[in-house]
Structure 1
Amino acid sequence: MRRDNHYSDLLAFIAVARERSFTRAAAQLGVSQSALSHTIRGLEGRLGFRLLTRTTRSVSPTAAGEHLLKNVAPRFDEIEAELAAVAEVREKPAGTVRITATDYATRTILWPRLANVLRDYPEVRVEIVTDYGLADIVADRYDIGVRHGDQVAKDMIAVRIAPDMQMAIVGSPGYLAQRTLPKTPRDLTAHNCINLRLPTHGGFYPWELKRGSRQTVVRVDGQLAFNGTYQMLDAALSGYGLAYVPADLVESDVAAGRLRWVLKDWCPTFPGLHAYYASRSESSRALAIVIEAIRYRDERPRRSRHR
């Protein structure tokens, strides 16, 4: 089989297979529909089997075509991405990187790390939108989303930005002095608990608890609800009830006696936060700079399969 036209012919096939249309693929490639049809027939002839099933109304890959698309197209995407990256080497990093993240991730991870590097790249703009709604970054046109490792879709590229995160249930000594300390998750229903409002479902975030192999979800109630972690923490420090927040946020307050940690043996540890984005082929130098800045660096061996 001749190798002279492999690259362009395979690109033509990938375009048709992805678009499911000779017309749209021809417009994308800047060739005539008849020339594109001739290219595909020539490729099929050299291969000795059909790649596309054509009808008067539709075009779809055959089983062989689907196999080729699945295994070859990603390699072409990687080649295109690397060529684009090489072309950008001589260019000054520029552009806007939009990120959706929680206030906790923004304040404890994203901003402290980005603040150390953005002065070196004045043409790189970063927009961070605080959101607990688990936005669809493709539909909502974000470049990066931040979620726990087990919440990232498998078709996304994920980069760990934090170690695994333990949660804590805390209250002020003044508040707890007026109540019986909770000994089981069920006891939380008798307490004034500070809720986190979730925009996606219009409800409150249920407290996920775990001890050994036992897991439970408690829907708590109380006088106050917020849509941010730091307001919940402030309310707990003011003696308004129990808050369920990341443990690293309250370590100093617990050590100083401003807060007490309750039900500690029931507080779970979640997979660490990851920054994720849709495709290597869409990456830019600006995006690469931001990802590299917020990447988690740990000398210990990593167990996560994410990059």
Structure 2
Amino acid sequence: MDRQDMADLTAFVVVAEERNFTRAALKLGLSQSALSGIVRRLEERLGVRLLARTSRSVAPTEAGERLVQTLTPMLRELDQSFADLSEFRDRPAGTIRITSVEHAAKTIIRPTLTRLLTKYPDINVEVIVDYGLVDVVADRFDAGVRLGKQVAKDMIAVRMSPDVPMAIVGSPAYFEKHAVPENPEHLIDHRAINLRLPTTGVLNAWRLIDGGREVRVRVDGPLVFNTIELILDAAVDGLGLAYMPLDQVTEHIASGRLNRVLPDSTPPLPGYHLYYPSRRHASPAFSLFVDAVRYRA
């Protein structure tokens, strides 16, 4: 196999993964027409059709899917080999891809990157915010960030934070129209601003303490978002109650823009953990990142 074959096969895998020539071309830094020509040339050389194309979609054929399954592990090993070469550089370098929920990305990862990248400017970090339970291996991430109880058993988990205090809040304007709830059962009479979880498609349940036991409560409401920033804005506007990390609403509570309710019924959530495959060989750049986000009580 010559170098051109390797480049063409890599381009094909990206198209197969993205299932879209436009996105794949952007990812590879090529024009769409050039990428289409690469795949067509590869198909002619192999004598089989690798992609089924329609006006709206692109998907691997049976032969293409088999080739993707063969090539993907090889390309991952090649990427890791290049990353390993950074050990021989004077300064750690390389790209780290992280999937994280929004709150952890905002409060832990972003401040950490300010310090890390200032000291090690040759390290590149890509952070993708996603509330789904991402398969970091299949989606080619180096690591993921989730709450402690959501980390798979076959992963190495590094604690990144203490437990996360939560709060239920509403604006003074909202409570002019609705009685302040005195226990979790009263939430049935309230309107919530909810968070949609992408993996399951269900609304995020509120973890509460009721009668000494933990329960998960779903409160109906007029609004659903997939970002806590929008949920917070809607709560300040008086559109419903919000279930939020306490640190995101503390200033609003202090200023009187929001009122906290049911504090004794709102337990903290398990702290955030960084998780990654146990078989992953840690490059110097990744090791520095892990050490930088590690929680130290």
- Give me the TM-score of the superposition, normalised by structure 2: 0.68
Q: Counterpart of 1:234 in 2: which secondary structure?
A: helix
Q: 1:211 deviation in Å?
A: 4.4
Do the aligned residues in 1 keep the contact of 2:172 with 2:257 (CA within 8 Å)?
A: yes
**Pairing 1:273–2:276 present:** no
Q: Note the residue ranges of structure 2 that are not aligned, 5 or more in a row.
A: 1-82
How many residues align structurally? Answer: 215
Q: 1:167 deviation in Å?
A: 1.2
**Pairing 1:231–2:230 present:** yes
Counterpart amino acid of residue 97 in structure 2: R
Q: 1:210 deviation in Å?
A: 1.5
Distance 1:213 1:186 in 2: 14
Distance 1:228 1:260 in 2: 21
Q: 1:97 deviation in Å?
A: 0.5
1:257 maps to which residue? 256
Distance 1:249 1:155 in 2: 32
The Cα offsets for residues 42-88 of structure 1, whole Å up to 9 and x where unpaired, read as xxxxxxxxxxxxxxxxxxxxxxxxxxxxxxxxxxxxxxxxxx98992
Counterpart amino acid of residue 149 in structure 1: G
**Pairing 1:288–2:287 present:** yes
1:163 maps to which residue? 162
Query: In percent, how many aligned pairs have the same letter?
Result: 52
Q: Counterpart of 1:297 in 2: which secondary structure?
A: coil
Distance 1:212 1:268 in 2: 13
Do the aligned residues in 2 keep the contact of 1:93 with 1:123 (CA within 8 Å)?
A: yes
Distance 1:159 1:278 in 2: 12
- In structure 2, the CA distance between the partners of 1:291 and 1:212, relative to structure 1 (3 Å rule), is farther
Distance 2:119 2:182 in 1: 52
Distance 1:87 1:112 in 2: 24
**Pairing 1:147–2:175 present:** no
- RMSD of aligned residue pairs (Cα, Å): 2.0
Q: Note the residue ranges of structure 1 that are not aligned, 5 or more in a row.
A: 1-83, 299-307
Do the aligned residues in 1 keep the contact of 2:86 with 2:94 (CA within 8 Å)?
A: no
2:104 maps to which residue? 105
Q: Give every structure 1 segment of 4 or more consecutive aligned residues whose post-TM-superposition deviation is greater than 4 Å.
A: 84-87
Q: 1:288 deviation in Å?
A: 0.9
2:47 maps to which residue? none
Distance 2:247 2:269 in 1: 13
Counterpart amino acid of residue 192 in structure 1: R
Q: Counterpart of 2:247 in 1: which secondary structure?
A: helix
- In structure 2, the CA distance between the partners of 1:89 and 1:297, relative to structure 1 (3 Å rule), is farther
Paired residues for 1:79-98 under 5 Å: 88=87, 91-98=90-97
Distance 1:192 1:90 in 2: 56
Q: 1:184 deviation in Å?
A: 2.0
- Give me the TM-score of the superposition, normalised by structure 1: 0.66
Q: 1:261 deviation in Å?
A: 0.8
